Amino acid sequence: MSESINVVDLATADAARASRKGPTIRRRGGAELLLEHAAPSYERLPMLDVVCDRFVRVLMTTLRGVLNDNVVVAASSVTSDRFADRFEVLPDNGMYAVFKAEEWENYGLLVFDAPLICMVIDSLLGGGGLRKQASRVERRHTMIDRALIEPLVHSVLADLGQAFGPLCAVTFRFERLELSDRFVHIARATDGVVGASFTAQVGESRGTMTLILPHATLEPVRDVLLQQFMGEKFGHDATWEHHLSREIWKTNLEMEVVIEDDGLTLGDILPLRPGDQLVLRQGGASSARLRCGDRMLYQGRLGQLRGRLAFKVEKRADEERPPFDLEGDLLPTEQDHG
């Protein structure tokens, strides 16, 4: 009798725990259970750490405006876990903001713990006790709490998009704000996710926000996040950029003025001797083209200007109409009709 009672108690405890914490994973046994609980292994994303560092700086400015006080924000290291395992370490009585990455066509999650929620609400309602450690609030959050937190979520998502800006353009659109973790299943329980926690501290008060991004969400920019850069330049070095620009402007180019393209056979070319003449079909101020290498750049006319041969640009080679007046001061070239 005692054994059956223990079995019932264990099942009841498991059911209560599953209903309270995140996604439910059905119980499995044998080799399947061992495979399921094997430690996940994912590629390290170096640039994601840099994005988080930038996000901390931008988020600090946002929270200072919301809390009207000096805020210190610190980020934990970026870790990879299963979606269900990540929920096991999340605090109770939090708020869950589901958002969508428009360009990546997938979802992410922001989790605000109760102390951070209390700090924000207390500041918005005119409270002055932010620098003292607030007593833990056990009550459930109300619709009023959610209405007060939602503007902060929009600001945080804008900051997150700004942090990703130097790497890729992405818009994080707010979807909904939930009060229970049972309605925020943005991925399967066994799917891999990237998580990072950000702690905001004002005096003795401290609150935490957790960012969760499934690996499927980051897949479109995985190659970018795998890159490695020295420092926090995001691959942009102003000194090198200016030096490269100066040297490019000094580059010497060999330009060719093509008067006429004519098809000649090998039999026409081989008999040529010094003194022979190739008679061109064009006369007067003939049309010509300016070429650099194999690329045709401009079309124009060939003539004389102040006693020298000159080429007047009439239009770009890829334009149908000339962008400016074609009337010019070129004199016709003198043709030798021999």
Mean pLDDT, rounded, for 264-275 = 84
From 170-184, 246-260, 284-298, the region with the lowest mean pLDDT:
284-298
* Amino acid code (one letter) for 51: V
pLDDT of residue 69: 80
Q: What angle do helix axes 143-164 and 114-124 make, rounded to 10 degrees?
A: 100
From 25-34, 159-168, 213-222, the region with the lowest mean pLDDT:
25-34
From 43-57, 173-187, 222-236, the region with the lowest mean pLDDT:
222-236
Q: What domains can you pick out in the chain, each with its CATH number?
A: 40-239 (3.40.1550.10), 252-260+281-338 (2.30.330)
Mean pLDDT, rounded, for 138-167 = 88
Q: Which of 174, 162, 205 is nearest to 70 (CA)?
A: 205
pLDDT(127) > 80? no
pLDDT(7) > 50? no
Share of the chain above pLDDT 70, in %: 72
pLDDT of residue 275: 85
Distance, in Å, from the CA atom of 2 to the CA atom of 300, rounded to the nearest integer, reads 102
pLDDT of residue 39: 45
Distance, in Å, from the CA atom of 331 to the CA atom of 335, rounded to the nearest integer, reads 12
Across all residues in the chain, what is the average pLDDT? 77
- What band does 109 get if pLDDT is binned at 50, 70 and 90? very high
pLDDT(233) > 50? no
pLDDT(180) > 60? yes
Mean pLDDT, rounded, for 166-189 = 87
- What band does 137 get if pLDDT is binned at 50, 70 and 90? low
pLDDT of residue 336: 45
- What band does 316 get if pLDDT is binned at 50, 70 and 90? confident
pLDDT of residue 331: 52
Torsion angle, CA of 172/174/180/186, rounded to 10 degrees? -40
pLDDT(255) > 60? yes
Mean pLDDT, rounded, for 199-221 = 88
pLDDT of residue 325: 46
Mean pLDDT, rounded, for 257-268 = 78
- What band does 324 get if pLDDT is binned at 50, 70 and 90? very low
Q: What angle do helix axes 143-164 and 46-67 make, rounded to 10 degrees?
A: 140
pLDDT of residue 167: 86
Do 104 and 220 form a contact (C-beta atoms < 8 A)? yes
Mean pLDDT, rounded, for 100-128 = 87
How many C-beta atoms surround the C-beta of residue 219 within 10 A?
12
Mean pLDDT, rounded, for 4-20 = 49
